[in-house]
Amino acid sequence: MTDGKPETGSVDAVPKTAADDADAAAADAATAARLAKRRLMGFGTHLVVFFAAMVVLVPINFFVTPHNPWFVLPMVGWGSLLALHAAYAMGLFGKP
């Protein structure tokens, strides 16, 4: 084994067992769980920022221009993106 290739007749290639498959499945499940948690945390942050912004925008609208409810435009526009983010966090845009 001087050139980096295994020697002929060596026992380097061990056949896969059921335990190896179970370990791989557990690793995949752990990775999926971490990804799901990360997606949910990202959505939670987005939701908190959305509500904080609306808490600021709505009173500004009613004190500055009470006859024109312009706060509805950012609420609907940002809310639609928030709905898409919720669908992503739930995994609706996953692999087919």
In a domain, 33, yes or no: no
3 part of a folded domain: no
Are residues 46 and 87 in contact, defined by beta-carbon separation less than 8 angstroms?
no
Among 55, 46, 39, smallest CA distance to 79 is for 46
Q: What is the pLDDT of residues 15-30, one digit of tens each?
A: 677 667 777 778 888 8
Tally of domains in the chain: 1
Domain assignment of residue 86, yes or no: yes
Residues 53-86 have pLDDT tens digits of 999 999 999 999 999 999 999 999 999 999 999 9
